[in-house]
Amino acid sequence: MTNHTTSYPPVPGVLLSATAAGIRYQDRDDLALMALPAGARCAAVFTRNAFCAAPVLVAKRHLTRAAPRYLLINSGNANAGTGDQGLADAAASCAALAELAGCRPEEVLPFSTGVIGEPLPLPKLTAALPEALGRMREAAWPDAARAIMTTDTVPKLASRRFTAAGRTAVVTGMAKGAGMIRPDMATLLAFLATDLAVDQALLQHCLSTAMATSFNAITVDGDTSTNDACVLAAAGTLGNQPLQDPEAPDYPAFCAAVEAVCRELATAIVRDAEGATKLVRIRVAEARDAAEARRVADTIAHSPLVKTALFAGDPNWGRILATVGRAELDRLDIAAVRIWLDDLCIVSRGGRDPDYSESAGRTILAREELTIRVALGRGKATTELLTCDLSYEYVRINAEYRT
């Protein structure tokens, strides 16, 4: 697999477009369309929020009935918390596109992101569909990535090339997300496609595996959205025999490419988090099991006191120590716990490390990227979580989100 590139090669046979429907935003594209060739396969993962948005429910239903031909994505309105009318609107948007495109409504998957609790302006959306269909092209990934943005400040794209069936294959993806980000699928929309032909079950396995180290390993503010969705489409245009067995020689390279794209997109989301000034990796080691390691990482990442200290560049190591102590670990031996900022040990033997200095801590916290490492001294399990600081700007963005 090649290193990541700054270009985003199209996926043969996959067409995209972006257009301005005026759903909420003015003078910008807010409707994206992705068309898949006949015979394509789709895997998907959705939010675990009990208040699933209408498009999530409709997309889930459609996936059980047909192979998708179109993905219809709007920004500015989440169509969540909208009851029966929201479900009817999501279904109607699929029917409108299907009529224009000459496919069945069940072959359209709807996705929405934006303000919760407001009716979807369906007439605006459907009026923009002819233009969206007329603009479709393989190279429109950047246009579509911009159209699905809400509070994002930059579009998020990633791509990898890999070798399969003796040919060069590609995985390209786009995502949106900057706030309401917490691992529970993570709060975002993400769409990936490959030209490789892959069996449905294997495609789903690959996506679910990649989620664990990417979109489910990030958090910004501890909130989980109603609209989360990640889709991986296999267009099948490479000409290979469909991958059906996880032991197939080309499967590891494909999965590595998918995971790399997902991780790059997930990192871009945290880097662009609302008001964030720092990208922070939290690595927990020497836990008894993976669940314990993750519980400690979550406790640190979701602590407002830790996050505000990171924003201020304040090496208040006591806040990190306290979060580890309240992570509800059974019979934690505090004398065995060690904590570092990058390579600077700040806690050992139950207290401040004797070689730690506040000036050295401030130097590290002035960096735009840093790592908080915790060794629990209890076992061999590890985990890594990506998060950010909490700034005044985050409060302003979310206080003014609907004004």
Say what the pLDDT of residue 144 is: 98
* H-assigned helices in 150-275: 200-212, 251-271
pLDDT in tens, 227-238: 889 999 999 999
Residue 184: pLDDT band with limits 50, 70, 90: low
* Catalytically active residues, by annotation: 187
Looking at domain 279-399, which of 3.20.20.80, 3.10.20.340, 3.40.50.300, 2.40.110.10 is its CATH number? Answer: 3.10.20.340
Answer whether 15-271 and 279-399 agree in fold: no
Using the predicted structure, report yes or no on whether residue 68 has a pLDDT greater than 70: yes
Using the predicted structure, report yes or no on whether residue 328 has a pLDDT greater than 60: yes
33 strand-pairing partners: 17, 72
**Boundaries of every domain in the chain:** 15-271, 279-399
- Please tell me the distance from the alpha carbon of residue 387 to that of residue 356, in angstroms, as a whole number: 24
Say what the pLDDT of residue 255 is: 97
3-state secondary structure of 219: coil
Query: Could you tell me what percentage of the chain is helix, strand and coil, using 3-state DSSP and rounding each to the nearest 5?
Result: 35, 25, 40
Using the predicted structure, report yes or no on whether residue 149 has a pLDDT greater than 90: yes
pLDDT in tens, 86-100: 999 999 999 999 999
Span 289-310, average pLDDT:
95
Using the predicted structure, report yes or no on whether residue 288 has a pLDDT greater than 80: yes
Of residues 278 and 222, the one with the higher pLDDT is: 278
Of residues 5 and 128, the one with the higher pLDDT is: 128
Residue 222: pLDDT band with limits 50, 70, 90: confident
Query: How many percent of the chain have pLDDT more than 70?
Result: 96
**pTM of the shown model:** 0.92
Residues 6+ apart with CB under 8 A from 147: 18, 19, 28, 29, 30, 31, 32, 73, 75
- Please tell me the distance from the alpha carbon of residue 397 to that of residue 298, in angstroms, as a whole number: 24
- Please tell me the distance from the alpha carbon of residue 321 to that of residue 352, in angstroms, as a whole number: 10
Q: Is the dihedral of CA 134, 136, 139, 143 positive or negative?
A: positive
Indicate the burial class of 320 (C-beta count within 10 angstroms; 0-12, 13-18, 19 or more).
Answer: buried
Residues 6+ apart with CB under 8 A from 81: 51, 53, 116, 117, 226
Dihedral angle of Cα 158, 163, 165, 170, to the nearest 10 degrees: 20
Using the predicted structure, report yes or no on whether residue 2 has a pLDDT greater than 50: no
pLDDT in tens, 341-395: 999 999 999 899 999 999 999 999 999 999 999 999 999 999 999 999 999 988 8
- CATH topology classification for 15-271: L-amino peptidase D-ALA esterase/amidase (3.60.70)
